[in-house]
Structure 1
Amino acid sequence: MAWDQIEPFLVAVAIGLLLGLERERSHSRKLPAGSRSFALLSLVGAVAAGFGQWAVAIGLAGTSALMVAAYVGSSDDDPGTTTAVAAVTAYMLGALAYTRPDVAVALAVIVAGLLVSKTRIHRFAREIVSEVELEDAIKFLAVAFVILPLLPDRALGPYGVLNPAKVWLLVVLLTGIGWVGYIGVRALGPERGLLITGLAGGFVSATATTASMSRLSRTAVGVRAPLASALLANLATFVQLLLVIGLVDRDILRRLWLPVIASAVVLIGVAAFVYWGARRAQPDHTEGDDAAPPPASRPFTLRPALILAAVLTFTLLVGRWGGEVFGPQGTVAAAFAAGLADAHAGSVAAASLAAAGDISVETALIAIGAALGSNLVVKTVLAFTAGGRRFGTRFIAAMAAPAVVFAIALSAVILK
């Protein structure tokens, strides 16, 4: 017998043993099905798949009936339905192993992971996730998997700048990044304090986070910890920029990633130096860890993403019009103006115009630099306004090195 003929059955047995052993080790009482039963059920599934789909369906009905009978007669106490459901799953994975053993093994590992993580999942559902977060999760899934597939994926409006599917995909991406930041704060806990708050808040709005940290620097927390948090918020701007640019035009991403990564590395070094100085200066203080707020009042923040999408669409329109009337200088000016509200709006608009062939890649890179520059000006003004001269001076000094590195690297890429 050839190996490819016996492999599906061996995989099926291995899958059954994996799930069965997990079930036996996680329960002290007698179960309706043990490791041997699981292995046999998976093997039966593989054999049934060899006869055809009709045999798999009959076997599934028989397995389900057998598990129901075992569940009812196993104990007067409720033994739980997880083992019965896992047994049916083992049968189906055994059937899948007959045609797709690689997929069956991957799914078996996932199922085993879910079974092993029982305590963590229950604690997460009962103690960590709130009703508000569950409600927002449903909203996010609706935005990503219900609304997005319904939108047309074609150019509409003046100059063809409005593509509903692509604009909404940007909304999904931004809200998803906000989710990542929020979960990071919840998972790592408040003891990480201002650093986690700054990085996570930067994915929602780096400008707003910079203003918040500037105001916080006037309190007893001091200057260094809020300053490090504001710097990490600007690091989130660089990370988010690469993500959204990669979504729009990979050719620009290939030219842009080196300047962004170089400036981001410098920014990380500066933030680490600032925060290390804060901890050394205040070894007995937690830098506001116990009072650090999450990056947003709710994990799902649709309004900022919608505002950014609207700004992006308007910037695309202005950029297309400016490029047609004034040439490349019009696009750069539009990106600079958009950067006063959000760095990504002008950047994505320029990348979209380059992807459509309306401007050159070099012009798009200059426009991206202009958008980031104007946005840094706005953050600096907020740092001085909300945090005073002491915070503002240190903020602009800390951002000077990353900004210079970005400008030099971007110039080298453009002139190459």
Structure 2
Amino acid sequence: MEQLANYVPQELISFLLVTLFSLLIGLSQRKISMKREGASMLFGTDRTFTFIGILGYILYILDPVKMTLFIGGGLILGTLLAIHYFVKQNTFHIFGLTTIIIALITYCIGPIVITQPSWFYILIIVTVLFLSELKHTFTEIAQRMQNDEMITLAKFLAISGIILPMLPDDNIVPGIDLTPYTIWLATVVVSGISYLSYILKRYVFKESGIIVSGIIGGLYSSTATISVLARKSKKDPTSYACEYVAAMLLAVAVMFVRFLILIFIFSKDVFLVIYPYLGLMSFATASVAAFIKTKRPIKKEEDDLDEEEETSNPLEFKVAIIFALLFVIFTIATHYTLIYAGTGGLNLLSVISGFSDITPFILNLLQGAGSIAVAVIVACCMQAMVSNIFVNMCYAFFFSGRGQNKELSRWIFRGFGSVIIVNVFILIAFYILS
């Protein structure tokens, strides 16, 4: 925008921008008011908002220092808006202030365009248009919200914006790179991804079926998602076996993507080495899931997860504490394993970590990337993931009834077994190429 001033007078550019932006806001308000309240509720038309913007621009440029004219015009406009609101409230019992506030914002567009950079005033216009159009969407979201939804959001803001900055970055144990800040930073990052998956599941994919539940659940925890799907599979007919196994495997495929995001955040060096292998693992797992999905097409409409399961809070304080404790345990275990058993012991520890939550172990490796070779970190991460897939297969078999549904059990072992074999070959390829 600023470069146009070299060829066109700045005053002309500012005037055209103010007129255009004011007209866009006016058109938006006219359409919304006509649709929801009727012509009798309009504070003028689209031209009215355009003239309000132009008036604010003129009064500002006539006295840009003291801004006496601009302030006076604003007081007159505010008085007219107050009269309009009083009449509307008493006659039609409508108490909304949105149109009045937007009219005042339109009046201020002129000074904003003149004094602020282009990205800022465009951001204001986009925000006004966006929020104006989403009134019904926000109403629907508010109706879906549980009683403690704001508490959940407050928890996330508290652990990320209040607790994290206050924690010291000094080692807790001498000689071990473990500080309160790094512990809680890992907790915040993982909680953020979990909270995102919770929001997607509850508000974006509210009516999702089995497959989408597996995909979204993989962002939070593949193990928890597989356990939930396995328990639910006991209630549905045998014909759904392939559907459930495919969803479980897609949760594993998304798990690789989730770890790619975490690795990118905590260690760019490790990411540059590991992303082709994790990408292949994710693609191979998703391919197996797609193949299994096609074996038993489902014609009847899918059901959602039970309400209690799909709306579970991912930010329970006890979950954060457990994660932090596991992070501390794996940090200390990794430190002394390297001292007394070397990289061989660390490889064994990576396999053992797969029997629990592998996220603390992997994040601990990433935060200690300076003292551990990148190749060792990559190998341990991949080994922990393969080990965890085997554990997930056991969970799927156990929670689905331990063989009561033979069709489901058969596809669980076929699907997870194929994924484990392929991923083991990818792991071997890494050792050969590195």
With normalisation by structure 2, the TM-score equals 0.83
Q: Which residue of 1 aligns with 2:393?
A: 380
Q: CA deviation at 1:365?
A: 0.8
8 Å contact from structure 1 (residues 194, 287) kept in 2: yes
Counterpart among 230, 237, 242 of residue 224 in structure 1: 242
User: What is the aligned residue count?
Assistant: 410
In the alignment, residue 375 of structure 2 is paired with which amino acid? Answer: E
Question: CA-atom RMSD, angstroms?
Answer: 3.0
8 Å contact from structure 2 (residues 81, 100) kept in 1: yes
Q: Which residue of 1 aligns with 2:376?
A: 363
Q: Which residue of 1 aligns with 2:151?
A: 135
Tell me whether 1:178 sits opposite 2:190 in the alignment.
no
Q: CA deviation at 1:142?
A: 2.7
**Cα distance per residue 1:78-126 (max 9 Å; x no partner):** 452111111122233432222222321122112111112222222322x
**What is the correspondence of 1:109-258 to structure 2 with a 5 Å cutoff?**
109-125=126-142, 127-153=143-169, 155-187=171-203, 191-222=207-238, 223-258=241-276
**What is the correspondence of 1:4-403 to structure 2 with a 5 Å cutoff?**
5-6=10-11, 7-27=13-33, 28-46=39-57, 52=64, 55=67, 58=71, 62=75, 63-73=77-87, 76-79=91-94, 80-98=96-114, 99-125=116-142, 127-153=143-169, 155-187=171-203, 191-222=207-238, 223-278=241-296, 280=297, 282-283=298-299, 285-289=300-304, 294-298=309-313, 300-354=315-369, 357-387=370-400, 388-389=402-403, 390=406, 391-403=408-420
8 Å contact from structure 1 (residues 158, 317) kept in 2: no
8 Å contact from structure 1 (residues 315, 345) kept in 2: yes
Q: Structure 1 residues 149 and 229 mapped into 2: Cα distance closer, same or farther (>3 Å)?
A: same
Q: Structure 1 residues 54 and 229 mapped into 2: Cα distance closer, same or farther (>3 Å)?
A: farther
8 Å contact from structure 2 (residues 198, 311) kept in 1: yes
Q: CA deviation at 1:265?
A: 1.5
8 Å contact from structure 2 (residues 186, 363) kept in 1: no
8 Å contact from structure 1 (residues 320, 331) kept in 2: no
- Between 1:313-322 and 1:24-33, the stretch displaced more is 24-33
* 3-state SS in 2 of match to 1:29: helix
8 Å contact from structure 1 (residues 193, 292) kept in 2: no
Q: CA deviation at 1:240?
A: 1.6
Q: CA deviation at 1:8?
A: 2.8
* 3-state SS in 1 of match to 2:209: helix
8 Å contact from structure 2 (residues 353, 384) kept in 1: yes
8 Å contact from structure 1 (residues 221, 288) kept in 2: no
Q: Which residue of 1 aligns with 2:36?
A: none
Q: CA deviation at 1:189?
A: 5.4
**Cα distance per residue 1:304-358 (max 9 Å; x no partner):** 343223212321222122223332223333333333211222222222211xx11
* 3-state SS in 2 of match to 1:95: helix
In the alignment, residue 94 of structure 1 is paired with which amino acid? Answer: G
Structure 2 residue runs of 5 or longer lacking an equivalent are 34-38
Q: CA deviation at 1:408?
A: 3.8
With normalisation by structure 1, the TM-score equals 0.86
Structure 1 residue runs of 5 or longer lacking an equivalent are none
- Between 1:151-160 and 1:364-373, the stretch displaced more is 151-160
Residues of 2 paired with 1:290 and 1:407: CA distance?
A: 32
**Cα distance per residue 1:31-62 (max 9 Å; x no partner):** 33533332233345455665557539836952
8 Å contact from structure 2 (residues 212, 247) kept in 1: yes
8 Å contact from structure 1 (residues 312, 349) kept in 2: yes
8 Å contact from structure 1 (residues 266, 401) kept in 2: no
* 3-state SS in 2 of match to 1:3: coil
* 3-state SS in 2 of match to 1:359: coil
